[in-house]
């Protein structure tokens, strides 16, 4: 009988320890989810990344013209200011060339080929008033951005984007793929309008003073000089 009670007491103590461990684990998860940013699923593993803070007054605004959005399509509708640019290079492609970081790539003879073949990309990082990150990452690096700059230079107030502009857009690390085919211009902003074939009726407005930044990102030689 004593042996049985001893075993029960031991098991009870072990269960209390296990319960304490579980509570500590839960508290740790709550702490992490509250104070640590989640991993960015697109940027965290595929690319070598170098981020540069920039002093810019360029802004972005994300809105929706849909009356009803599925819960899985929701991204925060917000506006923010450009804070930094991330330059990315595809890891597996670089590794095949014996390269391990962007500074090595910068001086490599195949830099322009990497750029032309979309192995070098960028991500424009904005921040809103709630300190949430807004990321704009072109699907096809310079074509999507070049479309915006050509529209800014256009004398037309509205029209088709020359190449179309496809982006991964995130607000607070919730990523969506959005495709834009048309533009409208006001005095200081350019509005990218969703594709008529898309069921995600978002639009994006960016200030036209983003032109100089995009000029760097859409030219291989300018970008090469920019990377430090």
pLDDT in tens, the chain (228 residues): 555 545 545 554 555 544 554 454 344 434 334 444 544 555 556 889 999 999 899 999 887 765 544 544 556 678 899 999 999 998 988 999 999 999 999 999 999 999 998 889 999 999 998 888 888 988 876 889 999 999 999 999 999 998 878 888 887 667 788 888 899 999 899 999 887 666 667 788 999 999 999 999 999 999 999 999
Residue 215 structure tokens: 């000029």
For residue 74, the model assigns a pLDDT of 56
For residue 194, the model assigns a pLDDT of 81
CA distance 217 to 167: 15
The number of C-alpha atoms within 13 Å of 133 and in the hemisphere containing its C-beta is: 19
Task: Give the CA distances from residue 82 to residues 33, 201, 207, in Å, rounded to whole numbers and listed in that order.
Answer: 25, 23, 10
Q: Are 88 and 121 in contact (CB under 8 A)?
A: yes
Q: 170 pairs with which residues across the strands?
A: 135, 175
Residue 165 structure tokens: 């502009």
The number of C-alpha atoms within 13 Å of 99 and in the hemisphere containing its C-beta is: 22
Nearest Cα to 81, choosing from 206, 214, 220? 206
Question: Other C-beta atoms within 10 Å of 216: how many?
Answer: 16
For residue 52, the model assigns a pLDDT of 95
Entry pTM: 0.76
For residue 99, the model assigns a pLDDT of 93
């Amino acid at each position: 009988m004593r042996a049985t009670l001893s075993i029960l007491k031991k098991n009870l103590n072990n269960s209390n320890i296990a319960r304490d461990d579980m509570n500590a684990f839960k508290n740790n998860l709550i702490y992490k989810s509250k104070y640590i940013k989640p991993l960015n699923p697109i940027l965290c593993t595929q690319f070598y990344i170098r981020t540069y803070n920039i002093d810019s007054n360029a802004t972005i605004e994300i809105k929706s013209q849909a009356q009803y959005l599925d819960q899985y399509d929701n991204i925060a509708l917000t506006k923010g200011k450009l804070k930094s640019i991330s330059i990315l290079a595809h890891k597996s492609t670089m590794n095949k060339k014996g390269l391990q970081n962007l500074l090595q790539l910068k001086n490599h003879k195949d830099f322009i080929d990497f750029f032309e073949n979309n192995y070098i990309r960028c991500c424009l990082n904005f921040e809103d008033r709630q300190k949430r990150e807004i990321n704009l990452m072109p699907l096809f690096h310079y074509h999507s951005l070049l479309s915006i700059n050509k529209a800014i230079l256009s004398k037309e107030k509205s029209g088709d984007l020359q190449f179309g502009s496809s982006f991964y857009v995130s607000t607070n690390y919730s990523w969506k793929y959005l495709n834009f085919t048309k533009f409208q211009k006001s005095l200081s902003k350019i509005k990218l309008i969703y594709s008529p074939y898309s069921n995600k009726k978002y639009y994006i407005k960016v200030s036209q003073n983003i032109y100089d930044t995009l000029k760097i990102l859409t030219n291989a030689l300018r970008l090469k000089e920019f990377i430090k």
